[in-house]
């Protein structure tokens, strides 16, 4: 039997028009949820056995068929046909081809509403772990670079203007810290939506599948959703996941922008590895930061997806509405984009080659050591408000004479202000500026090394989450075994 299975239509005199069928049919990418749908079907089969709808033999027969279907879909030997409206229709068609009438018994007590909600939750919990692994690869690349550059000095910026000297490792770890929070958000997402919607049916719950709490445990959830209407109509888990994905790309895009700037000839602070850059079709000399640029561009796509889906959710009446099917379009694109970006970005970062001498040369330019003058004056018991004015006068004096702070000599000091003594010249050094920043989380090399050590420990717990798996119901053993009665 190769005919499609339609899950609705008994009250209709005619089938759907071609236009409606085309509009209603799921995009091919939606069929990626087959594992989650089959896991839900296995758990639902357990529910029907508890309810007495399936006897033990029927239960085992259906579970075995579901296992076979999963293997066949995974291998590519079974694929959706054009008339399969969605993943549920596709898998029920396969089940009924193999089991006939018995396959149709599995539909009792559930709805596509709770099925699709369950599929999406399970999928996103799995993807939270998979995407975390990709983010961790970027983190490891950042830590590797930062560890090599705990003594490398560079100019730090505010408003894209030279501000104060910092350690390159400290700057890179700022990006790593941002991504660490994104990893934490994936874990928090997983905890927040660790509740199963299966058993909510269309919206009111099921009169047949009455132990959704047990189905939830079988599917690896901590429990069932508290409210059946909320279970099928809520999509804040989708919105939150899209938000986290967009934040990840925003974190990456900020570093991507800097890499584009730093790798330009005008800066020449960093060299891109040949295997993580591209050339020009017309200008042979070009070496382009395409990974950084594509990341920056694709970030806009992910921001658009969260904004668009929030608009879809706005003013959505309870309970389920077909508008909610748009969640997968936004989700799958965002996830697919991130899965492309992350390994390329990790490789680019890991292979960056920084010009340490060039960074050091640039570090004091733009009066980045001016704050050291003010701090020195404070150490001489000058109120900071006055120290600030005096330091401004120092900068103005240097600018008028066309040199930086390095051009100051002892004879200049009393001409600017009587409170400036020769000792101030010893304070305006890169080493002194870095060494004085000894507070927790500051940029002195020792503090940066401590930060990396703490960060590495924090990353280990994120690795544990990324390596974990959901305890989804799997293949059933032969009748009579310990697994068979699970």
Residues marked as catalytic: 159, 280
DSSP per-residue string spanning 278-317: B--SS-TT--B-HHHHHHHHHHHHHHHHHHHHHHHHTT--
Task: Give dist(CA 397, CA 413) in Å, integer.
Answer: 10
Helices (H) and strands (E) in the chain — how many of each?
19, 6
Distance of CA 389 to the CA centre of its chain: 46
Please name the residue that has the structure tokens 């694109």: 333
Q: How many CA atoms lie within 13 A of 219 on its CB side?
A: 39
What the block records as the tokens of 2 is 């190769």
Query: What interhelical angle do 168-192 and 112-148 show, nearest 10?
Result: 160
User: What does each C-alpha distance from 440 to 244, 255, 447 come to in angstroms?
Assistant: 28, 24, 7
Task: Give dist(CA 466, CA 460) in Å, integer.
Answer: 10
User: What does each C-alpha distance from 118 to 115, 135, 392 come to in angstroms?
Assistant: 5, 26, 63
């Amino acid at each position: 039997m190769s005919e499609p299975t339609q899950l609705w239509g008994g009250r209709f005199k005619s089938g759907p028009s071609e236009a409606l069928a085309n509009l209603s049919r799921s995009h091919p990418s939606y069929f990626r949820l087959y594992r989650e749908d089959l896991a839900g079907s296995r758990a639902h089969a357990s529910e029907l056995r508890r309810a007495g709808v399936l006897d033990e033999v029927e239960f085992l027969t259906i579970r075995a068929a579901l296992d076979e279907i999963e293997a066949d879909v995974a291998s590519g030997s079974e694929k959706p046909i054009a008339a399969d409206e969605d993943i549920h229709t596709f898998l029920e068609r396969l089940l009924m081809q193999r089991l006939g009438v018995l396959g149709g018994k599995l539909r009792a007590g559930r709805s596509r509403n709770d099925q699709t909600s369950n599929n999406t939750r399970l999928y996103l919990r799995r993807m939270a772990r998979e995407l975390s692994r990709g983010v961790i690869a970027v983190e490891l690349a950042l830590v590797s670079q930062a560890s090599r550059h705990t003594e490398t000095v560079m100019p730090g910026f505010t408003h894209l203007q030279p501000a104060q000297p910092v350690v390159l490792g400290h700057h890179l770890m700022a990006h790593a810290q941002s991504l660490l929070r994104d990893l934490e958000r994936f874990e928090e997402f997983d905890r927040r939506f660790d509740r199963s919607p299966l058993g909510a049916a269309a919206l009111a719950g099921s009169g047949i599948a009455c132990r959704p709490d047990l189905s939830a445990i079988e599917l690896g959830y901590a429990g069932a959703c508290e409210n059946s209407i909320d279970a099928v109509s809520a999509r804040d888990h989708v919105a939150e996941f899209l938000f986290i994905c967009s934040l990840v790309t925003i974190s990456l895009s900020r570093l991507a922008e800097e890499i584009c700037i730093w790798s330009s000839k005008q800066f020449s602070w960093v060299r891109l590895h040949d295997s993580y850059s591209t050339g020009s079709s017309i200008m042979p000399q070009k070496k382009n930061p395409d990974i950084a640029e594509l990341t920056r561009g694709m970030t806009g796509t992910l921001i658009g997806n969260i904004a668009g889906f929030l608009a879809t959710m706005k003013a959505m009446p309870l309970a389920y509405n077909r508008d909610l099917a748009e969640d997968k379009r936004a989700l799958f694109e965002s996830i697919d984009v991130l899965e492309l970006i992350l390994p390329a970005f990790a490789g680019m970062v890991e292979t960056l080659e920084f010009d340490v001498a060039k960074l050091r040369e640039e570090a004091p330019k733009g009066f980045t050591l001016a704050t050291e003058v003010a701090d020195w004056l404070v150490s001489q018991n000058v109120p900071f408000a006055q120290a600030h004015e005096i330091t401004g006068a120092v900068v103005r004096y240097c600018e008028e004479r066309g040199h930086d702070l390095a051009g100051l000599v002892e004879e200049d000091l009393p001409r600017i202000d009587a409170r400036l003594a020769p000792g101030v010249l010893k304070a305006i050094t890169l080493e002194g500026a870095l060494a004085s920043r000894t507070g927790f989380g500051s940029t002195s090399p020792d503090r940066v090394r401590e930060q990396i050590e703490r960060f590495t420990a924090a990353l280990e717990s994120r690795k544990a989450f990324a390596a974990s798996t959901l305890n989804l119901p799997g293949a059933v053993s032969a009748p009579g075994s310990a697994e068979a009665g699970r």
